[in-house]
A and B are shown apart, each in its own frame.
Chain A
């Protein structure tokens, strides 16, 4: 029986949680503030980029993936990758149709 790939369990402490929680609140304030600035198409790009950064912070630290085994890291990465593939294929199908021409 092989050993599990995890290191001995890593307890994440209050300091890390406070730092991450504070960063998430700052990013929330930033994304709202930036939404009041006219950036054209980049309003959506910036807002989604900040959302991705926030989600990554939550996954890595609140959900402990930063300290988890390779199995869990790969599981999470495979899940998000599959999601991106599915979204891309939906969008590819959508933009390659002659909407409105029939």
Chain B
């Protein structure tokens, strides 16, 4: 292409060249295309996350089938009340995150900061309740590898008096249940900790006026991440807490 053509091309005259928002990168034609590309990239990342958690879900399904009585006895040590409260807290945080995206889209800086802070608070409440559950596991010697005793499983569980005590070899296998419990909820909690860390940065930048200037991709994509973490918990809750209640 000869340089004169570039110089005379109407789309390269300075006035037109800068007739786009400052956040539109030059390799995109339109803001909408840029937005589509970034959402697409975020979703591809989330698909890798589905596969990552999916491996643990597959392990859980197979080992539950394999050591069924141990998984039932392990599950009966969890608090359904705390699990339900935590599910509600996380759904609440997804709602506030969705409202944060809405606030960014409607360019409402105050509301954006408020909803981001609410999301952080609800995330911390979730982690607080989770750590209380972990602490209880430690006190009851239900942490495989570090602090484990079969005592609760070779004796009758007072919360489930109809349960028969497990034979010693099956009682040992409750460690498989608790290993998967800690791996899955621990990885989920790690995602929440990473999410809260990013949220703190987002709040600081939102104070400076970011995300309410029409460029909402960052908030939107973080919202996708936060909702994904919520979805992982939506499946962890029934699998770990609920489905073994009557078995």
Interfacial residues, chain A to chain B (CB-CB below 8 A): 1, 3-6, 8-9, 11-14, 17-18, 20-21, 24-25, 28-29, 31-32, 35-36, 38-40, 43-44, 47-48, 50-51, 54-55, 58-59, 61-64, 68-69, 71-72, 75-76, 78-80, 82-83, 86-87, 90-91, 94, 99
Contact = CB atoms under 8 A, between A and B. Distances in A.
A12 B102 contact: yes
Given A4-B32, A68-B39, 7 more contacts: A4-B33, A28-B237, A32-B242, A48-B239, A51-B237, A54-B234, A91-B61
B243 A6 contact: no
Contacts of A28: 84, 87-88, 91, 237
Contacts of A32: 80, 84, 242
Interface residues of B, number: 53
A47 B88 contact: no
B26 to A, nearest CB: 13
Interface of B: 29-30, 32-33, 35-36, 39-40, 43-44, 46-47, 50-51, 54, 57-58, 61-62, 65-66, 80, 84, 87-88, 91-92, 94-95, 97-99, 102, 105-106, 220, 223-224, 227-228, 230-231, 234-235, 237-239, 241-243, 245-247
A83 B54 contact: yes
Contact of B98 (A31, A48, A62): A62
B30 A35 contact: no
Given A55-B234, A63-B227, A91-B61, A21 B246 contact: no
